[in-house]
A and B are shown apart, each in its own frame.
Chain A
Amino acid sequence: MAKQEMATTKYRLEEPGVERRVILLVAPVHDALTEYTAELLADPPDLGAPNVLCRPVHPVTYDEQLSRLSIDPAATEVCLIFCGHGRAGSLDVPGASGGGGALSPFFDYRHVPAGPKFLLAFCSNSGAWLGGAYERNTRGRTFVGFDGEIGFVAAGGAYAYTWRKILFGIAAAMLSAADDNFALEKSVVGLYRDALSMFSPENDPKHRWGLAMRMYLRQQMKAVSCIRT
């Protein structure tokens, strides 16, 4: 897949009557892992708001990305869905030297106070620090991330279908669930339980990586952190 700085879909700020909410999909171009997770974000389902897919190749921050897209965070409700590499304190994009090793923070503690109303950080360790920062420093916001490293079966077919279903299922739950945290967590865990049923042992003849998929699904279900402030 050719590297690209940004691909915009279904979103035109200049269109009259545009929704005041935007789904910002960020999938950095970094390595094989981010290529797989980027494919999960492609052609997203209708989440009730226009969406834009960004594929950063170079260092860029959340604020800079909004600016480049002419999105006014004060006037727009942003739902950020990030698929890439995460650390305890940041969601990362490629560093100045490009893909391979170096990472540069796209979203960290500095962006939390004026950050997106909804943030789904679909990557390892994202919930460990950022979740706490959301909890301490914001009101009326929603965060979903993971406390610890998480794994994926990086295959197509039923596997990619399942990850997409979970990914956008969580996004839909964030955007539509009732205000309380319990309802959100119940929805999210429900998505994982449905997926575990789909990959139950009796279906192993159909799914070559069924056991690995269950292993990672259960791990994510345990690590997921749902915070509504």
Chain B
Amino acid sequence: MRGRASEAITVSLPNPRILLVDDDISFLRGLRDYFSASGYDVDTARTPEEALQLIQEAGTRSYQLVITDLDFGDLSQIEGDQFLLQNLSLFRGALTAVISGTSDLTVDRRLRLEEAEIHFLQKSPETAGKLEEIAEEAKQRRATDIAAILAEVVTPRVEERIGGLLSIEIMPLAAPSVASRYADVLKGVVIDWLKAREDLDAPIFMYGTQVYSANELAEEVRRETKVGLAHVALLLDEFQSFLGKGQDGKAGNGDDEV
């Protein structure tokens, strides 16, 4: 069986995660519902102080998108732009945005936001569209980050650099474009691993009813045949078991590999 398989490999990523900070509960709920429907996992906070606590609990690189209100009234003395600018290191790799409902910013403050690549939006009928653009950009950036992490794993030897995968969690449900790019990178990992073998033409891999050399198996992976995709899935499974995240009911998680 050497034809292209009809089924695709099932590889998906966790939902992108977003942190929304606003003292206006109704607006916060509206944004939460909007982003939840768009495939985000949403955390909400009513003040910058609450947001910082959530970040501490979740980890500094847990959020792909952080959107904060500018003015928190009596609830906090910290303003949204200050909150982001003073904690830039916590948001490295994430997209950030400040939304203002009532006031504009001085030119000086606007420039500081621009320098830090923080979006600034005023609440208006167009806000939803702009937020949608930012959200899409966050998803794309996330896919690129994951691709970079996986590419780093490829060389010089997959086995030795497997620790690079620690940054990635495999969970059901993700944007198809992200899953697709992730699957492509995984294919590359498997092909590179096979091509790194010394005996490229030795018939070493017995699978189903066929025997394959490393070269032949790499070709199966490249062409996404059933056998090729099965090996991508097997290797991914092995990575996950190595990381203690396997779904292996018989052997338990992270069993005897460590």
Contact = CB atoms under 8 A, between A and B. Distances in A.
Nearest to A85: B209
B250 A151 contact: no
Contact of B250 (A31, A153, A208, A221): A221
B234 A219 contact: yes
Nearest to B198: A208
B208 interface: yes
Contacts of B238: 211, 214-215, 218
A189 B204 contact: no
A186 to B, nearest CB: 9
A77 interface: no
A192 to B, nearest CB: 8
Interface string B24-58: 00000000000000000000000000000000000
Contacts of A216: 234
A32 B250 contact: no
Contacts of A154: 203-206, 211
B257 A200 contact: yes
A63 interface: no
A36 B256 CA distance: 28
Contacts of A219: 234, 237
Interface in B128-185: 158-159, 162
B9 interface: no
Interface in B209-258: 209-211, 230-231, 234-235, 237-238, 241-242, 246, 248, 250-251, 255-257
Contacts of A67: none
Nearest to A30: B209
B208 A218 contact: no
Contact of B251 (A32, A149, A193, A209): A193
A70 interface: no
Question: Chain B CB within 10 Å — which of A33, A36, A204, A215 has the most?
Answer: A215
Contacts of B235: 211, 215
Interface residues of B, number: 30
Contacts of B237: 215, 218-219
Given A196-B257, A204-B159, A209 B204 contact: yes
Interface string A213-229: 01110110110000000
Nearest to B249: A222
B193 interface: yes
Interface string B49-78: 000000000000000000000000000000
B209 A33 contact: yes
Nearest to A153: B204
Contacts of B211: 31-33, 36, 154
A219 B250 CA distance: 11
Interface of A: 31-33, 36, 85, 124, 149-155, 185, 189, 192-193, 196-197, 200-201, 204, 208-212, 214-216, 218-219, 221-222
Given A36-B211, A200-B256, A200-B257, 20 more contacts: A33-B209, A85-B209, A124-B209, A149-B208, A150-B207, A152-B206, A153-B204, A154-B204, A185-B250, A189-B250, A193-B251, A196-B257, A197-B256, A201-B159, A201-B257, A204-B159, A210-B159, A214-B238, A219-B234, A219-B237
